[in-house]
Amino acid sequence: MIIASRVLVNGKLYGNTEYVATLISQKTGGDLFQIKTEQTYPGTHKELIDAAKKEADGKVRPKLATHIRNLKDYDVIFVGFPNWWYDMPMPLYLFFDEYDFTGKTLIPFCTHGGSRFSQTEKTIASLEKGAKMRKGLAISRNNVGASETSVQNWLQKMGFGQ
Ligand SMILES: Cc1cc2nc3c(=O)[nH]c(=O)nc-3n(C[C@H](O)[C@H](O)[C@H](O)COP(=O)(O)O)c2cc1C
């Protein structure tokens, strides 16, 4: 997925959600998997906003380019996304259609510009009824660069990370 916003940490450039995912992976020792689409999204903010709105309004399901081949090896899955138009980006719907997380623990996280999760935690729970959902973490895009402590505290509360 194209990176719509960026955060610079220790000289490295990340997308907001990508950075939080990296922190989670570092602190839990978990593998990183990037949900990518076949199509590319516009690189400028305004164009991306419009493209995402069109997709959401049309309930478009953009095809995914990456697939998890060994889901059975994982019991706990953190799923992160940016809040787009008070919802998950449409590719996330396809992601939840593609996999059955029954019996697994799903932990959502998002980055946002003020809307936090909107209704997305409920949406995920309804799409993955057999999964055990944990309370997610929503991080404002203004705090992403300084979010390491809150990510760590959240993980520790759930019993993950050092
Ligand atoms: C297409 C689009 C729609 C967005 N819609 C919302 C929104 O409805 N509510 C909100 O709080 N932030 C919204 N944002 C802001 C993003 O959630 C925020 O910038 C996020 O941190 C981007 O993460 P990323 O760098 O991983 O793409 C939107 C951003 C984009 C590009």
Q: What pLDDT, in 10s, does the model give residues 121-143? A: 999 999 999 999 999 999 999 99
Q: Which atom of ligand 1 is nearest to the CA of 140?
A: 21
pLDDT of residue 147: 96
- Please work out whether the CB of residue 5 comes within 6 Å of at least one atom of ligand 1: yes
Q: Does residue 14 sit in helix, strand or coil?
A: strand
Question: pLDDT below 70 — which residues of the chain?
Answer: 1-5, 161-162
- Would strands 6-9 and 12-15 be described as parallel, antiparallel, or unpaired? antiparallel
> Both ends of the chain: CA-CA distance in Å?
30
- Please work out whether the CB of residue 105 comes within 6 Å of at least one atom of ligand 1: no
Query: 6-157, superfamily in CATH?
Result: Flavodoxin domain (3.40.50.360)
Name the burial class of residue 64, with classes exposed (0-12), middle (13-18) and buried (19+) by CB atoms within 10 angstroms of its CB: middle
pLDDT of residue 4: 52
**Would you state the torsion angle of the CA atoms of residues 64, 94, 54, 59, taken in this order, to the nearest 10 degrees?**
150
pLDDT of residue 144: 95
pLDDT of residue 1: 42
**Per-domain residue ranges of the chain:** 6-157
Cα–ligand 1 centroid distance for 91 (angstroms):
14
pLDDT of residue 6: 75
Among 83, 118, 137, 144, say which to mutate for ligand 1: greatest number of ligand atoms within 8 Å of CB: 83
